[in-house]
Structure 1
Amino acid sequence: MNVYFGLGTNLGDKEQNLRVAVQYIEERIGKIVSLSAFYATAPWGFTSANAFLNAAVCAETSLPPLKILSITQSIEQEMGRTHKSVNGVYGDRVIDVDLLLYGNLILDTPTLKLPHPLMQERRFVMEPLAEIAPDVVHPVSGKTLGNIYRDLLD
């Protein structure tokens, strides 16, 4: 199963933070199939003097989605993330690892929603994701990720 993650960091050695997160994903979740370029972006949803570095990664895994969520949360904690964004309140972070897509699975639980419910609204997610998976179809909208990204630019 191919799973897609959005990565973001705006504290510390940002490039190193992304590389460490990718390494942990490969060690704990599955083989890295593709990794986007790193994109410098402005904070979204809050004000900060610290710009973000974002990336998208695809890994091949046999793990179930809730297990992957647990692993990504552990990775965030190990790398120094102290709290998750709650109720739309965002802040600076060493690392953010969001599970965006799990194949074409549509899931809606209290702890995990797939595909990620806000991904198509966020250029910092869609730009790197469209780079590595332009022809992947969003399971809810039926549009390709490349088309979703182009729609964001309009």
Structure 2
Amino acid sequence: MIVHRAYMAVGTNMGDRKANCLNGIKAFVQATEADLIAQSQLYQTEPLYVEDQQWFINAVFVIQTKRPPLELFHIAKRIETEFGRDLSEQRYGPRVLDLDILLVDDMVVQTPQLIVPHPRLHERRFVLQPLSEIAPSLHHPVLNKSIQELLSNLDDGNKKVYCQ
């Protein structure tokens, strides 16, 4: 069986944000029967797109798993729902838990449900900053740049990202 290395993002801006992030990571690792390889620090970040909401806590983590990307996606959505997220809620609005697949190995996946690498990965400091902490030389298979290069080239108006 093939073993994949998946790079995941977690975030929340509702409830006990720190606990939601850490418990979300734990639940995902357990549900996917994965090994947790690395985890970034927690970052407090300004909201994007819908700015009139509480700041987020975000992190990135890396797992080693035998599960394919689409299965990881379905597990992530199930866990978000179990944590109380209404998947019909406002896009980019407040959420109790958000789990996103950023990268899986050097795979490129395009289905109606899932796009890997995450299509907005290169636009988001709240993902690039923690990802560069744990995997700065990781290669984006579509943009052909390292995570550190993507972060250095990011033009997002200096959205604020603080270590917790």
**TM-score scaled by length of structure 2:** 0.88
The answer to whether the 8 Å contact 1:17/1:94 transfers is: yes
The answer to whether the 8 Å contact 1:48/1:92 transfers is: no
1:122 aligned partner? 124
Secondary structure in 2 matching 1:152: coil
The answer to whether the 8 Å contact 2:53/2:94 transfers is: no
Q: Which has the higher strand share?
A: 2
Query: Does the alignment pair 1:61 with 2:53?
Result: no
Per-residue CA deviation, residues 7-66 of structure 1 (Å, 9 max, x unaligned), is 110000000001101111221121110000001011111023311000000000010111
1:51 aligned partner? 55
Match runs of 1:32-47 below 5 Å: 32-47=36-51
Query: Equivalents in 1 of 2:35, 2:83: separation in Å?
Result: 20
Query: Does the alignment pair 1:4 with 2:7?
Result: yes
Query: Equivalents in 2 of 1:28, 1:146: separation in Å?
Result: 30
The answer to whether the 8 Å contact 2:17/2:57 transfers is: yes
Q: Which of 83, 86, 89 pairs up with 2:87?
A: 83
Secondary structure in 1 matching 2:103: strand
Give the number of aligned pairs: 152
Secondary structure in 1 matching 2:59: strand
Question: Mind listing any 5+ residue stretches in structure 1 that lack a counterpart?
Answer: none
Query: Equivalents in 1 of 2:145, 2:132: separation in Å?
Result: 12
Question: Mind listing any 5+ residue stretches in structure 2 that lack a counterpart?
Answer: 159-164
Query: Equivalents in 2 of 1:134, 1:102: separation in Å?
Result: 15
Per-residue CA deviation, residues 88-135 of structure 1 (Å, 9 max, x unaligned), is x32100010000101100011110001000010011111011111111
2:99 aligned partner? 97
The answer to whether the 8 Å contact 1:3/1:61 transfers is: yes
Amino acid at match of 1:105: M
Aligned residues: percent identity? 36
